[in-house]
Amino acid sequence: MSRMFRGVYIVWILLRYGLDELVLTSLQKPWLHVVVRIITVGRRLDAPRGQRLRQALERLGPIFVKFGQVLSTRRDLLPPDIADELARLQDRVPPFPTEVAVATIERAFRRKVDDIFVSFDRTPVASASIAQVHFAVLRDRQGQARNVAVKVLRPGMLPAIEKDLSLLRMLAAWVQGLSADGKRLKPMEVVAEFDKYLHDELDLVREASSAAQLRRNMDGLDLVLIPEMFWDFCATEVIVMERMVGVPISQTDRLRAAGIDLPKLARDGVTLFFTQVFRDGFFHADMHPGNILVSTEPETFGRYISLDFGIVGTLTEFDKEYLAQNFTAFFRRDYKRVAELHIESGWVPQNTRVDELEAAIRAVCEPYFDRPLKEISLGMVLMRLFQTSRRFQVEIQPQLVLLQKTLLNIEGLGRELDPELDLWATAKPFLEKWMLEQVGPQALFRQLRNEAPRYAKLLPEVPRLLVDYLRRGGPDGEQAQQRRLFEELLVEQKRTNRLLQRLVYVAAGFAIGLFAMQLLFRVQWWGY
């Protein structure tokens, strides 16, 4: 019943804000304009379409807001007025009352806000679908005043998310049971992945730990700044972190005025993404413009500033190597190798013809090479690849859904920073270098270094093991020893069998003698 009511509410919101009219007017069919006039009778739809779409997503809750955030990064796919309104979902969702935020902080730390912070700004500086942020001044353990950002979880998030996830599970079950592509698309597994990421985002301690991991991983790269976490003031509903100062990456005019090299910034973004994915297998998976600033401080000028680590993606060593080989083959236009990798991994049936899959992949990808980013749409490439995957029964990999989403975000950001960016030429050297590190001498030395503690434990035992082995005569001596043991076992078995045979004979003779004595006794008794 709760799913049904939620579904009815969603439909009511869509009608309330006229999203049906928005969809129909976007279709170039004359007769649809008549339909629009009919369905809009009695409804006041005076607000601009972008505003209505944004307000509808805000009313529907965090899952829909996140969907709007992803769309907001794809200005190549959206009209400017809609893209501008959806951009407000990145950090300008209506905030919840400051009194609620203060109560949450005091409940989490069991202290008054004024006892924790030297000062606390009660006006939130940013508000998103899951949490809002307040600036404050904190006195650290050394007694030094530090400018901090306090992130407070929005109240009532868990029930709201559970309602939508329950509805998604039901829809996924229908798709999996009724659709011919249900098994290939794995909708239940995709929703399960989405469920895990959303619940992880509701635990701010997990977010703080992800930020700390990324900060360690990125140390020394000189491309990105990640805020320090103050662990004495981190709880499930509240985290306190270093305050970062920079220009939002979406404000390209301000960045140019500050002297930021936007083409270099775009290239650095591609390098940063591929480093997190392929070197570390641990990447920031919510890279919309609201979560990215650019530093203008002299000592860190031009570096990225990453915020909001509620959603991070992870890849196994197998996934990393498989994806890197695919990307490398793709950048080299080795479509046959791409097809072979898909078959080897089991993503397509083993009886798939390599030449047919190779030709299909070439038809999708070849038109987009040697073009600047402004002439490429990864969204369209992925759509055409999706159509090809359906033909060849390619199975969807739920663990890579976040990676695909992040890749689309990266493309959207790169398009805004430098439309002339050659995405392929920028990424190719990095991936080739990474592949060399994985299979070359560096990889061998790295494996030896990682195994050194284990080898150090085993080395002192090697002389004794070698002496024992030689005493047994090596392989031949060991086989001879086994033969001797087997022969001794046979001799012992024969001896045991003879002993058992004698015991049987003795027992049988004893039984026969006993029977004869009883018979003799009875004969004598009858004769008497």
Q: Residue 174: how many CB atoms within 10 A of its CB?
A: 12
Residue 119: helix, strand or coil by DSSP? Answer: strand
In the numeric block, the tokens 């085993």 are attached to: 458
Q: Residue 445: how many CB atoms within 10 A of its CB?
A: 10
Nearest-5° angle of CA 124, CA 99, CA 123?
Answer: 20
Q: Are 230 and 312 in contact (CB under 8 A)?
A: no
Cα(308)–Cα(302) distance, rounded to whole angstroms?
20
Cα(173)–Cα(166) distance, rounded to whole angstroms?
11
Q: Which of 91, 164, 268, 286 is catalytic?
A: 286
Q: What is the DSSP string of 27-56?
A: S--HHHHHHHHHHTTT----S-HHHHHHHH
Amino acid type, 526? W
Amino acid type, 494? K
Q: State CA 422 to chain mean position distance.
A: 26
Q: Are 57 and 89 in contact (CB under 8 A)?
A: yes
Q: Are 410 and 273 in contact (CB under 8 A)?
A: yes
Amino acid type, 363? A
In the numeric block, the tokens 């991991």 are attached to: 213
Name the E strands within 259-363.
282-284, 292-294, 304-306, 312-314
Would you call 286 a catalytic residue per the annotation? yes
Q: State CA 313 to chain mean position distance.
A: 3
Residue in 304, 322, 86, 339 with CA at minimum distance from that of residue 214: 304
Nearest-5° angle of CA 451, CA 455, CA 459?
Answer: 170
Amino acid type, 205? V
Q: Tokens representing 282?
A: 């641990």
Question: Annotated active-site positions, please?
Answer: 286
